[in-house]
């Protein structure tokens, strides 16, 4: 049975994650979408299935978005669907208070203020994933629930990004095949006191640890992005994070050395040019 009623608040979920992430299996994966609705009423299983398969507006001729393989996720015990009320879970309606959420426009905040129900769609695996079919399934399920339930906002809690329902619809319309890292992963730059750091958000969906670079000079952001984007694409394809990894950017060879930080569940990345020059280091 893939419906699981009841709702864990955002605050409680964050506490559990921080307390146990260092103890989770190495191949642990999590994908999660929150769909905000005018009321806490979940569309029927049959209606959602029909919208995702038979009447999916994102389907291209001869290329169904949800085929037989993806359809198996409907009965997968790793799929959870939770329904919550604003009155019982007020903090879940305040993603603006959560850690580094992108996309918080005035329109999104106004819609969140009016929403009274929320559907949380979550896929958790404690073992290495055999494939990435869930990454095709969950975005289309979130879109279907939003369409059928008059949803207004969709939040990807792993990626840390939020959209209006219309923006998410257009995202799927532009890229209906969603198993690629471009749909699920973002690379973010932060800087302070003349140095910066690149970090990924979203690799956890594929059972991989997030990447974080050693400090880089601020003028090497573009170079760092080129190398890390290449690195995460290789890791996504192989679903492996072995080292060292040989890379290339702007005609020069580089090597990425990886160090696992078990406590933070991140892979620390050192980038070094493999010629006489050692930039970045």
pLDDT at 23: 74
Burial (CB count <10 Å: 0-12, 13-18, 19+), residue 182: exposed
In a domain, 262, yes or no: yes
pLDDT at 11: 41
In a domain, 214, yes or no: yes
pLDDT at 20: 54
Q: Within this chain, do residues 34 and 137 fall inside the same structural domain, yes or no?
A: yes
Q: Within this chain, do residues 144 and 43 fall inside the same structural domain, yes or no?
A: yes
pLDDT at 21: 60
- Of 250, 215, 211, the residue nearest 231 (C-alpha): 211
Q: Within this chain, do residues 221 and 189 fall inside the same structural domain, yes or no?
A: yes
- Among residues 179, 203, 225, the one where a domain terminates is 179
Q: Within this chain, do residues 91 and 228 fall inside the same structural domain, yes or no?
A: no
Q: Within this chain, do residues 85 and 201 fall inside the same structural domain, yes or no?
A: no
Which structural domain range is residue 77 located in?
Answer: 10-179
User: What is the SS3 assignment for 124?
Assistant: strand
Number of domain units in the chain: 2
pLDDT at 281: 53
| pTM metric for this prediction | 0.89
Determine the Cα angle at 133 with ends 127 and 136, to 5°.
Answer: 130
Q: Within this chain, do residues 151 and 190 fall inside the same structural domain, yes or no?
A: no
Q: Within this chain, do residues 159 and 192 fall inside the same structural domain, yes or no?
A: no
Q: Within this chain, do residues 30 and 165 fall inside the same structural domain, yes or no?
A: yes
In a domain, 4, yes or no: no
In a domain, 281, yes or no: no
Q: Within this chain, do residues 167 and 206 fall inside the same structural domain, yes or no?
A: no
Q: Within this chain, do residues 108 and 235 fall inside the same structural domain, yes or no?
A: no
Rounded distance, CA 120 to CA 81, Å?
A: 6
In a domain, 5, yes or no: no
Contact 137, 146 (CB under 8 A): no
Q: Within this chain, do residues 204 and 140 fall inside the same structural domain, yes or no?
A: no
In a domain, 156, yes or no: yes
Torsion of the alpha carbons at 166, 170, 173 and 178, rounded to the nearest 10: -100
Q: Within this chain, do residues 196 and 260 fall inside the same structural domain, yes or no?
A: yes
CA atoms within 13 A on the CB side of 190: 7
Residue pLDDT tens, the chain, 281 long? 344 444 444 444 444 445 456 577 888 999 999 999 999 999 999 999 999 999 999 999 989 999 999 999 999 999 999 999 999 989 999 988 887 899 999 999 999 999 999 999 999 999 999 999 999 999 999 999 999 999 999 999 999 999 999 999 999 999 999 999 999 999 999 998 889 999 999 999 999 999 999 999 999 999 999 999 999 999 999 888 887 899 999 999 999 999 999 888 899 999 999 874 445 55
């Amino acid at each position: 049975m893939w419906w699981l009623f009841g709702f864990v608040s955002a605050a409680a979920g964050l506490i559990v994650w921080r307390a146990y992430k260092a103890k989770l299996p190495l191949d642990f994966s999590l994908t999660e979408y929150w769909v905000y609705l005018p009321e806490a009423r979940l569309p029927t299983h049959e209606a959602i299935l029909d919208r995702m398969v038979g009447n999916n507006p994102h389907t291209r001729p001869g290329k169904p978005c949800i085929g037989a393989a993806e359809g198996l996720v409907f009965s997968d015990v790793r799929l959870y669907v939770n329904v919550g009320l604003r009155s019982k879970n007020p903090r879940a309606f305040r993603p603006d208070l959560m850690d580094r959420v992108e996309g918080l426009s005035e329109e999104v905040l106004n819609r969140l203020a009016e929403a009274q129900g929320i559907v949380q769609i979550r896929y958790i695996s404690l073992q290495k994933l055999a494939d990435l079919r869930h990454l095709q399934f969950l975005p289309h399920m979130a879109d279907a629930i939003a369409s059928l339930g008059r949803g207004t906002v969709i939040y990807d809690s792993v990626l840390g990004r939020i959209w209006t329902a219309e923006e998410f619809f257009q995202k799927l319309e532009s890229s209906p095949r969603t198993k690629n890292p471009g749909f699920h992963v973002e690379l973010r730059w932060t800087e302070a006191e003349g140095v910066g750091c690149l970090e990924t958000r979203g690799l956890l969906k594929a059972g991989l640890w997030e990447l974080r670079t050693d400090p880089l000079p601020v003028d090497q952001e573009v170079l760092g992005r080129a190398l890390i984007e290449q690195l995460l694409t290789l890791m996504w394809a192989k679903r492996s994070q072995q080292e060292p990894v040989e890379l290339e950017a702007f005609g020069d060879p580089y090597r990425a050395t990886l160090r696992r930080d078990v406590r933070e569940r991140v892979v620390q990345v050192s980038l070094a040019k493999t010629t006489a020059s050692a930039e970045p280091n």
